[in-house]
Structure 1
């Protein structure tokens, strides 16, 4: 009897705990969905030869094309520069597989670049500053290499970088497993964001809902996060003919600071803004970054 009673008590505790977890998850998902809806209301869509692309276009002034990172979308691409729309025009599209954007038949980095070129053509925009964050760095770098005539400058913000030399092993998948790239699993593991990624647990509210991001995350893990190593020779930034601004924190756990520092010495016209702390989101460095950002764009 005592054993049965203990089992019943433990079962009751587990049921209560499960109910609490479900309630907390649903509340957070609801809040995140309401947040995302405000961005959906800003978004526009165009058809390209690579499929549908959805973007936010806001602000006036010099145009900045924002290439978001993994787990992103047009909302995060916009958020990166949302405080700058009084002075700049921000074009913030979703990359392949992210909210509102299709997956091209050949979803390569080059195809993503050409999709962005078609988007700019549709908006009658000739030249832009291209900004790449995290996994979006691959697209931003390739855009500047393939289309210097469309690029006023390249800004790499806590970005990934190409390998300096050929790696020993080919990368096949670099990112979260597909199975956890859904709302509940990602939310459940979000307390590990700090120790694993150096990001606050509350960051989960910026990437949910994940239903429209899943395909993009998997594509980034297979392509964007591997291509700059596996095909490093196609990302030789020493051949860049446009001005480059690199902003990176030494304690970034997701994007290699050492690569940022090494490439800053190889790029012909490069400004390197190094921050001691801030992690992958560059927390606490807004003043320093804004000053460098404005000086870079208004250098002429």
Structure 2
């Protein structure tokens, strides 16, 4: 984490932290579980390098962003409007990764005139199913969650049982990471390492567990923005089904499902960037 890279503005829900990278077409990158503005910048670095102005907020309960009394996805979407107003941006393409897709979807539903395109990436959003997805056994997940308020315990877990955290928190099979090239292995490790300091993200993490663990239905059939949902068939959080559901329910939406990659898209980083970039160019946004 590099707080000197970020700024804080007042929003109707308290302080809202964000950072920017690049220049050009605005692109709002909404981070996933365990993130913050730093994760948003990291996941969108190909976009900032390619001529996009990446704006990466920290969601409720992450780093220097407030944790309001009602930290709902809908309120988070409204806070994004406050950020866009402060930056004098009328319309923007919004990408939401994992649990961040919930507030991205809410933004497209609640503020259609501000949403130029919607990109739910491995969306931890509603899909009809009998039981919630559980990527790892409950006892292992409980061990992972127990470390969330202790930076030392979390660091120790990364150092001693990285495979457990890769599967529990990144919903990606460790064998898939080990079989990838060195660049992708380093990317996976960076995602895990950058959850530290976890104590500054614990409120957001636990709120994400509540909102995304068994997500509520949303009125996605009312979304009017051009939409592309992306996921991976072997994502341990089951987001391939959610991406397909978005593709079926949002008018005119597309869903692109890669056969493998886990929750963090191992082996498909450059490919998925090209897919999204091509989509934004096709609809005339980029």
Structure 1 length normalisation: TM-score? 0.78
Query: Is the aligned partner of 1:190 residue 2:173?
Result: no
Which is higher, the Rg of structure 1 or of structure 2?
1
Does 1:143 find its partner at 2:110? Answer: no
Equivalences for residues 98-247 of structure 1 within 5 A: 98-164=62-128, 178-181=145-148, 182-187=150-155, 188=157, 189-196=161-168, 197-198=171-172, 202=189, 203-226=191-214, 228-229=215-216, 232=217, 235-247=218-230
Q: Which has the higher contact order (CA 8 A, sep 6+)?
A: 2
Aligned length: 254
Structure 1 residue runs of 4 or more that deviate by more than 6 Å after TM superposition: none
Name the residue aligned to 1:20: none
Gaps of 5+ in 1: 1-35
TM-score normalised to structure 2 length: 0.81
Residues 1-150 of structure 1: matches in 2 within 5 Å? 36-37=1-2, 40-86=3-49, 87-150=51-114
Matched residue, 1:250: 233
In the alignment, is the contact (CA less than 8 A) between 2:46 and 2:273 conserved in 1? Answer: no
Q: C-alpha separation between the residues in 1 aligned to 2:238 and 2:106?
A: 18
Q: What does residue range 262-273 of structure 1 map to in structure 2 within 5 Å? A: 262-273=245-256
8 A contact 2:18–2:58 mirrored in 1: yes
Greater Cα shift, 87-96 or 175-184: 175-184
Q: 1:217 to 1:195 in 2, by over 3 A?
A: closer
Distance 1:102 1:152, change over 3 A: same
| Alignment partners' CA distance in 1, 2:252 and 2:163 | 41
How many angstroms does 1:62 deviate by? 1.7
Larger helix proportion of the pair:
1
CA distance in 1, matches of 2:46, 2:60: 25
* CA–CA distance in structure 2, aligned partners of residues 148 and 225 of structure 1: 26
Query: 2:231 aligns to what SS in structure 1?
Result: strand
Instruction: Tell me which residue corresponds to 1:10.
Output: none
